[in-house]
Structure 1
Amino acid sequence: MPVFGALIEWVSFYWVTIIVVLHIGLSVMTSLHVLLYKENDRTSLAWIGLVVFSPVLGSLFYWLFGINRIKRLAQREHPQKIKQDFRYEEDCIDFHGQPKHWHSSIIAGYTIHPVNYVDANSIELLVNGDNAYPAMIESIRGAKHHIVLSSYIFDYDSLGQKFVTALAQAKDRGVVVYVLLDGIGVGYSWRKSDRALKKRGVRTAQFLPAISLTGIRFINLRNHRKILCVDGQEAYIGGMNISKGNLVKSAKHPIDDVHFKVAGPVIDQISQVFIEDWFFATGELIKFPSYNAGITEPKKASVVSRVIQDGPDEHHNRIRWTLINALVCAQKSVRIITPYFIPDQTLMTSLHAAALRGVSVEIIVPERSNILFVDWVMEANYLRIIEHGIEIYKNKRPFDHSKIVLIDDVWSFIGSTNWDARSLEFNFEINLECFDGDLNSQLTALYESKKLNSEQVLEADMANLAMYKKIRNNLFRLFSPYL
């Protein structure tokens, strides 16, 4: 006790010195980490400033939210051999009959993400949860062997309970079921869906649990993918979480969105992403059946497609580079639907370059999103965006969460990715890069239907904004790399 009393007395006498030494030590260590691992000069300087001028708290905040890289495939036990089936061989690139001016993009695409384009796929649009959820539940009910489901949000509302019941019933009849939930997203329902599934005997796992000794420093990295694969024969991907808010005909606060039902060999690439995610979350290597064209021949199987996966790991920047690569090939039009449009300077420059070439560039965003300060940041950027002829339209319907990119009449990009730093820097995402005129035409019709209910952003309107709004918007714009 005398020793303990002496220690307390020493600390109480030198506490200022201790805090100063701790602050200097943490600041130096954290600043070195920023210098070595942060690529963006602007964010690096901001982090160092926060670390230096906010004793201890700045360093703590950085280690919790500033680390945006994680190594996953570096684990020695990861089955690398599974990935070989999807890799291309440099001396036999297949252009699948695409227009000649897209050949250079396809060559670059293989370098960006060395996964094969595969043909004979069918992709069906499912607009809003009213169409998507019944189809998904029907597929779950028809499953015979395996189901894998990954979702960022899985609400335990009336809709979520239907999914829980369908998954549990599939498990009861002998189907192998795996459900992967994001460690933060599962908290939206207070983990009720996770507990309900486990209670019914369904295998679940959390991707980077928010409360864990190993995952706490990666709390800012989230799995934003939405994947459902059934028996290797049907798959669903897109931007739709499991929530009754997507039932626009009955929801109190409806959310517009679009999901996609996939049939064809590209399903193997989709299920592979789930296998890797499950292995990362649990250390367990699961088996999933390969697509068999002889079982269910897809209708109108004309889509050439492949998966582009992205995340703050060894796949980082693949979606950003895929978009830049495709924008270079645009000759007539670029059409974008996104709930959040806060692109970095590189993507914005690529869009402006397309507009300067005479390409029609149009973007539809919600009039009001579900995040107020993101709306302010977008509004701050409107004048900069509409330079060189880019047109922005604000959709006046309830919040539109759809994510689509269309270039000319052939290329489509669909999946879970938004045009913001959160998606492109911190989230694990999955998209399909597609070549098909019919799919592009269907998506263009959807785009035009949304445009009918949209109002164009005009330069005069932005210039006449109240001064306090300009100041507010541009203040929040400073934090856009972190949103």
Structure 2
Amino acid sequence: MQFIELMLEWIYTHWLTIIVVFYISLSFVTSVHVLLFKENERTSLAWIALVIFSPVMGSLFYWLFGINRIQRSAQKKHPKKLKQGFRQQDQLIEFHQLPINWHSSIIAGCKINHFNYLADNKVDPLINGDKAYPAMIQSINSAKRHVVLASYIFNNDSTGRQFVEALIAAHHRGVIVNVLLDGIGIGYNWHKLNRALKKQGVKTARFLPAMSFTNIRFINLRNHRKILCVDGEVAYMGGMNVSKSNLVKFATHPIDDIHFRITGPVIDQISQVFSEDWFFATTEHITFPHFKPNTGKKKNDNSLIARVIQDGPDEDHNKLRWTLINALACAQTSVRIMTPYFIPDHTLMTALHAAALRGVAVQIIVPQRSDLRLLDWVMEANFARIMAHGIQIYKNQRPFDHSKIVIIDDIWSFIGSTNWDARSLELNFEINLECFDEDLNTKLNAFFNEKQQNAIAVIASEIENLPIYRKIRNNLFRLFSPYL
């Protein structure tokens, strides 16, 4: 008892010294960790400044949200045996008779990403939920063996309930059904949807639940992938969530988007990504049916060459960025980008400027107004820098266009779930398809042209003449763009 009294008296006498020592020690330890483990200089400087000027709250935020624990966790939970089936093992690089200027891209691509380039695929664009949802539900209704579905947002609205009913009906027919939803994206809908599916025996899981003491340190890392695979025969992926807002003809606040129906051997790569995510979330290993080619189909019916690019803050980190840089280096005539948020990092912006300086026509379409006003301000702050070397930017006047595509020349395209912002490039788990096919590019260029007709060009003089308060506001929020 006397010891406790002496201790309290000592603390009372030296409380200021204790606070100073604690302040310095906490700031020092956290700053050293930032210096050792953060690669981006500007991000490191921002964290250190936050830690120094607000040592307690800054350090707390850093230890909770600034450390990439996913990579270590993924290495434990994703055993290599799950991935070996699709990894290249000292095999010869196949150029698939593609133009010679893309051969260097394929060589680099095989080093960037473990998935093989596969021929004999077919990719069909599906515009908005009006075309995508009926096709997806029909595929679920036709399923005979196995259905897997992953989505970032799955709303409990009339569209979401149609999917739930189709999934339950498939389960009752004896089809194995696995549904994986993101802990943040699903939000308050999780309990209703989970209860409805589980009550009928459908297996569900949340990727990094938001409301969990064990996973709170992962709250900033989300699974942004949208995947539907059925029986190893057909797959759907792209940027479209499950929401009635994507039914543009009937929605009060419509969201334009594009999704893709995929057939061919690349389906196995898509289902492999789902299997790894499911194992990460549940530690359960699922066996999904492999694609079986239809020997009666003509070879040239499915001529598209494709492979999956998966990216995230785990061992797949930076594969997306390197894939885009690699493709941009091969561009000869045109680069066309559609994205809801265009806030590329310095490396990607340099690659785009390099293409423009070579004489490549670079065109970018973004929404005139997105669903996140802060990001609109950040994009507007960057417009002058982006257009410095002749890059053209257009603002789509539709209510909100969530489409995500990249088209290079008449042969290469990039489709999937990724936005051109820090969240997609650094924090989210994403899935994309790298494609070589002239027919697909023709369709995507027609889609781009149609969007361009409804867009207005950004004029450099108008950006320069913005009111000073808008310039200050835009550039202020630009400082926080890596964290938005």
TM-score with structure 1 setting the length: 0.95
Q: Are 2:71 and 1:81 equivalent residues in the alignment? A: no
Show the 5 A alignment for 1:73-152: 75=75, 78-152=78-152
Q: 1:7 to 1:135 in 2, by over 3 A?
A: farther
Q: Secondary structure at the match of 1:56?
A: helix
Cα drift, residue 55 of structure 1: 2.9
Show the 5 A alignment for 1:307-456: 307-456=308-457
Q: 1:188 to 1:408 in 2, by over 3 A?
A: farther
Structure 2 Cα separation of the partners of residues 127 and 72 of structure 1 = 38
Q: Deviations over 1:418-449 (max 9, x none)?
A: 00000000000000000000001000000000
CA contact (8 A) 2:328 2:352 kept: yes
Q: 1:198 to 1:295 in 2, by over 3 A?
A: farther
Q: Deviations over 1:354-391 (max 9, x none)?
A: 00000000000000000001000000000000111100
CA contact (8 A) 1:147 1:175 kept: yes
Range moving further from structure 2, 429-438 or 295-304? 295-304
Cα drift, residue 193 of structure 1: 2.1
Q: Which runs of 5+ in 1 are unaligned?
A: none
Structure 1 Cα separation of the partners of residues 216 and 45 of structure 2 = 24
Q: 1:373 to 1:78 in 2, by over 3 A?
A: closer
Q: Are 2:98 and 1:67 equivalent residues in the alignment? A: no
Residue of structure 2 equivalent to 1:208:
208
Show the 5 A alignment for 1:39-78: 39-68=39-68, 70-71=70-71, 75=75, 78=78
Residue of structure 2 equivalent to 1:182:
182
The percentage of aligned residue pairs carrying the same residue is: 67
Structure 2 Cα separation of the partners of residues 374 and 19 of structure 1 = 39
Structure 1 Cα separation of the partners of residues 2 and 199 of structure 2 = 53
Residue of structure 2 equivalent to 1:198:
198
Range moving further from structure 2, 283-292 or 10-19? 10-19
RMSD: 2.1
CA contact (8 A) 1:64 1:220 kept: no
Structure 2 Cα separation of the partners of residues 252 and 2 of structure 1 = 72
Residue 364 of structure 2 aligns with an amino acid whose one-letter code is I
Show the 5 A alignment for 1:2-17: 16-17=16-17
Residue 478 of structure 1 aligns with an amino acid whose one-letter code is L
Range moving further from structure 2, 157-166 or 74-83? 74-83
Q: Which runs of 5+ in 2 are unaligned?
A: none
Structure 1 Cα separation of the partners of residues 449 and 442 of structure 2 = 10
Residue 375 of structure 1 aligns with an amino acid whose one-letter code is D
Cα drift, residue 70 of structure 1: 1.8
Structure 2 Cα separation of the partners of residues 254 and 188 of structure 1 = 21
CA contact (8 A) 1:72 1:280 kept: no
Q: Secondary structure at the match of 2:449?
A: helix
Show the 5 A alignment for 1:129-278: 129-187=129-187, 189=189, 191-278=191-278
Cα drift, residue 206 of structure 1: 1.0
Structure 2 Cα separation of the partners of residues 7 and 294 of structure 1 = 80
Structure 1 Cα separation of the partners of residues 301 and 29 of structure 2 = 58
Q: Secondary structure at the match of 2:148?
A: strand
Cα drift, residue 61 of structure 1: 1.2
Q: Secondary structure at the match of 1:71?
A: helix
Cα drift, residue 6 of structure 1: 8.1
Cα drift, residue 14 of structure 1: 5.6
Q: Secondary structure at the match of 1:186?
A: coil
Structure 1 Cα separation of the partners of residues 86 and 187 of structure 2 = 35
Q: 1:7 to 1:283 in 2, by over 3 A?
A: farther
TM-score with structure 2 setting the length: 0.95
Residue 130 of structure 1 aligns with an amino acid whose one-letter code is D
